[in-house]
Amino acid sequence: MKSNINGVLTEYKLGQNYPNPFNPSTKINFSLPERLFISLKIFNSLGEEIETLLNEEFEKGSYEYEWNAANLPSGIYFYKLQTDSFTETKKMILLK
């Protein structure tokens, strides 16, 4: 997936969280090619929604969100970025 051409964002991008594995917090990066309403959610390995991190409108650009999972057990989790026309999910590992 292209993330920029000549420094201009042209498509959506959901980066891999860093660090991964993590304990207890990690950073999630994403980029948007235009102003959009987005949701960023965390799910457990059973597909159950754990937390909604973001559910709001964002301007075109690149963003970073730090998530703290201190109250959750070790395991595999998924984070999903969703707009009206785009959805991407990535895996992360919480290791305590």
Burial 10-44 (b: 16+ CB within 10 A, else e): eebbbbebeeeebeeebebebbbbeebebebbbbe
pLDDT single digits (tens) 1-37: 334 444 566 789 999 999 999 999 999 999 999 999 9
In a domain, 7, yes or no: no
pLDDT-derived band at 94, boundaries 50, 70, 90: very high
Assess whether pLDDT exceeds 90 at residue 44: yes
CATH code at 33? 2.60.40.1930
- Measured CA angle at 62 (ends 60, 67), to 5 deg: 125
CA dist., res. 3 & res. 51, Å (int): 27
Q: Domain limits at 79?
A: 13-94
Residue 4 corresponds to which amino acid? N
d(CA 42, CA 90): 10
Count structural domains, the chain: 1
In a domain, 1, yes or no: no
| 8 found inside a domain | no
Give a yes or no: residue 78 inside a domain: yes
